[in-house]
C-alpha cells in the first residue's frame, strides 16, 4: 500500500473505524502469533483484491479508490446498524 493511500485515510478521521475494521477483516487468522504481530493482510489477499478491483493483481491501488471503498463500506455498515435497531425495536413491540 502506498504512502498516498495511508495519508488519504489518516486525514479523514471519520474513516478510521471503517479502515480498521477492514484491516482486521482482511488480516490472517491468529495474526498476533506471527511477526510482525500486526494485522497486516497477506500479499495474496492484496493481490486478489487488486485483481478483482482492477483486473490485474499488480495494478496499484489509488487513494481515491480506497477512500471511495471505505466511504461506501462505512455507509453500508451504518445502514446495517440502523436495520438491526429497527428489527430489535420491532421484536420488542411484538
Mean pLDDT of 7-12: 94
Task: Using a pLDDT cut of 90, give the percent of the chain over it.
Answer: 16
**Residue 26 CB coordination number (10 Å):** 15
Mean pLDDT taken over the chain: 80
Round to whole Å and give the CA distance between 35 and 45: 18
**Residue 66 CB coordination number (10 Å):** 21
Q: Which pLDDT belongs to residue 87?
A: 54
Q: Which pLDDT belongs to residue 33?
A: 94
pLDDT, tens digit (0-9, with 9 covering 90-100), for 46-92: 888 889 888 998 888 889 988 988 888 655 554 445 555 555 555 56
Residue 87 contacts residue 32 (beta carbons within 8 Å): no
- Global pTM reads 0.66
Q: CB under 8 Å to 64, separation ≥6 — which residues?
A: 8
Residue with cell 495474526: 31
Residue 24 contacts residue 39 (beta carbons within 8 Å): yes
Amino acid at each position: 500500500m502506498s504512502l498516498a493511500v495511508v495519508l488519504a485515510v489518516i486525514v479523514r478521521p471519520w474513516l478510521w473505524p471503517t479502515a480498521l475494521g477492514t484491516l482486521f477483516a482482511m488480516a490472517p487468522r491468529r495474526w498476533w502469533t506471527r511477526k510482525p504481530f500486526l494485522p497486516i493482510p497477506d500479499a495474496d489477499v492484496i493481490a486478489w483484491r487488486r485483481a478483482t478491483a482492477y483486473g490485474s493483481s499488480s495494478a496499484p491501488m489509488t487513494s481515491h479508490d480506497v477512500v471511495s471503498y471505505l466511504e461506501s463500506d462505512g455507509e453500508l455498515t451504518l445502514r446495517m446498524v440502523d436495520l438491526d435497531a429497527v428489527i430489535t425495536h420491532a421484536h420488542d413491540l411484538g
